[in-house]
Structure 1
């Protein structure tokens, strides 16, 4: 069974928690995980080395556009990184994800 996994760096643990909770409350994601990372990237002419928190969200493929728009509208970054990809999961977990998000025809 396939689900959609999102990987979203955020500025703080508080922001990651807030985005995850809101996505789950709105039933466009079924589960979130949050972990600290160190990111190095160019921004406005200088190399940045920042502590961030990654938000991982799990949903169904048909909610990709809705979840992307939702995160984009709430994210604190001017240019948020929102990565997503299809992953294979065990049948029981995939069914649990489907049961905990919006029905495909209700969005």
Structure 2
């Protein structure tokens, strides 16, 4: 089963650094830096807004929990928003590519 993880980062450099580490750790097969997103949020009872870089990480479902934990540990925010989920469907070639990650562990 394939899985995706989404996390916003404060800047492109930190997003690239975390993605590079996870690639090196073989916890993901790909990270798409989606570009700048506008974030509107409530945090600690106050509303705020900011600009962030959205990142979509692609992995095998068996590595999802480890990858989420690693992103949290490396993320520059004290309390990062890291959301992961297993995919209901994936193309056959994509699924095979991501499944190969667990065999390289």
Instruction: Provide TM-score, normalisation by structure 1.
Output: 0.87
Residue number in structure 1 paired with 2:17: 18
Q: Is the CA contact 2:29–2:59 (under 8 Å) kept in the aligned structure 1?
A: yes
Please provide the CA RMSD for this pair.
1.5
Residue number in structure 2 paired with 1:90: 91
Deviations 1:21-48 (A, max 9, x none): 1111110000010122110112344321
* Cα deviation, residue 98, structure 1: 2.0
For structure 1, which runs of at least 5 residues remain unmatched after alignment?
none
Distance 2:11 2:43 in 1: 18
SS at match of 2:93: helix
SS at match of 1:81: coil
Q: Which moved more, 1:16-25 or 1:40-49?
A: 40-49
Residue number in structure 2 paired with 1:69: 69
Q: Is the CA contact 2:62–2:102 (under 8 Å) kept in the aligned structure 1?
A: no
